Amino acid sequence: MSEASKGASLAFGQVVIGPPGSGKTTYCHGMQEFMGRIGRQVSVVNLDPANEAMPYQCAVDIAELITLPDVMENLKLGPNGGLIYCMEYLEANFDWLQEKLAACRGHYYLFDCPGQVELYTHHDALKNVFAQLAKWNFRLAAVHLVDSHYCTDPGKFISVLCTSLATMLHVELPHVNVLSKMDLIEQYGKLAFNLDYYTEVLDLSYLVDHLASDPFFRNYRRLNEKLVEVVEDYSLVSFVPLNVQDKESMRQVMQAVDKANGYSFGDQEHRSLEALMSAAVGADFHFASTLAVQEKYVPSQDKAVEEEVMEL
């Protein structure tokens, strides 16, 4: 490590990753506003060269260095090849990134990353960017967003578990998996099991049994059993449910990430958080709590006791 790196102060942040449409940009916007309300200075860094309409205040934008449309036009590449080229170009221009980040010294960072899954499962460019940030004394946690509607389809959920595991092993950062858009989950159908079953990734044999009821997947039962065994053997994957419009849900995700990257906030931020959580309903927050979804799938203790008494 260089002398400059040794003398640099620690910087904390999140790299927000996940497939297209999982809500990465919306998450960055919501988390920037939420943290701003408790007094944390937040800078959002857009590392997605295809991101044109950004709702948040962007401190650093990769578009100043390279854009996906330019790469596709000039090099005659498709969107996937273009994104990989852009990340390799960023990797080759670390000095540009370091100079831009230096202007936000002392801030908390949110890195809004591209949505191409290959970048997190087996390509090294973005992984090398994260490694370089670590050399600059950044303490980062990966926030991997997954659309919660995958829970309503056992086959898709198994693939999500495998993708999440592959991402965790490849990226090599403290990892928080998040089920995003919890407020919309029931638009895609009922859950077969309690929400805890999906967030805690409990005994997946039940999921394989449920999947076997579908004639299409019946022939692939052995394959699904092996995939599930891989996920369970590593015992790494679990999820935090998220509804960006719910303050309590945002607080739970923020605290999970702070624990993962080692961020510790002071008394003033703690008091601001308590004041925010106890504040009356405001125009900027909606209280369609994630718990409202969970309660439909997890019977309350009182109700369970009543049912036992009735049986006696």
Q: 232: which 2 tokens?
A: 């369970």
pLDDT: is 142 or 212 the higher one? 142
Say if pTM beats, i.e. exceeds, 0.75: yes
pLDDT of residue 211: 82
Provide mean pLDDT across the span 207-211.
86
Mapped onto helix, strand or coil, the DSSP state of residue 28 is helix
Please state, rounded to an integer, the average pLDDT across all residues of the chain: 86
The torsion angles phi and psi of 64, rounded to 5 degrees, stand at -70, -20
pLDDT class of 207 with cuts at 50, 70, 90: confident
Provide mean pLDDT across the span 27-37. 95
Query: What's the CA gap between 183 and 186, in Å, rounded?
Result: 8
- The fold of 11-201+237-265 is Rossmann fold (3.40.50)
**Is the predicted pLDDT of residue 301 greater than 50, yes or no?**
no
pLDDT grade for 3, boundaries at 50, 70 and 90: very low
Mean pLDDT, residues 213-242 taken together = 89
pLDDT at 299 over 50: no
Is pLDDT at 294 greater than 70 in this prediction?
no
| Percent share of the chain, pLDDT over 70 | 86
Tell me which residue of 138, 173, 174, 141 sits closest to 8, measured CA to CA.
138
pLDDT of residue 296: 55
Residue 169's closest CA among 142, 189, 208?
A: 142
Closest CA to 47 of 13, 10, 97: 97
Mean pLDDT calculated for residue range 264-271: 74
pLDDT(291) > 60: no
DSSP classification of residue 38: T
CB-CB contact of 181 with 30 (8 Å): no
Question: pLDDT at position 187, please?
Answer: 80
Mean pLDDT calculated for residue range 87-115: 96
Query: Rounded CA gap, 292 and 288, in Å?
Result: 7
Could you read off the pLDDT of 53-71 as tens digits, one per residue? Answer: 899 999 999 999 999 999 9
Angle value at C-alpha 89, between 84 and 92, nearest 5 degrees: 130
Given this model, what pLDDT does residue 295 score? 55
pLDDT of residue 285: 41
Answer yes or no: is pLDDT of 261 > 50: yes
Residue 290: the pLDDT is 46
C-alpha distance across the termini of the chain, in Å: 69
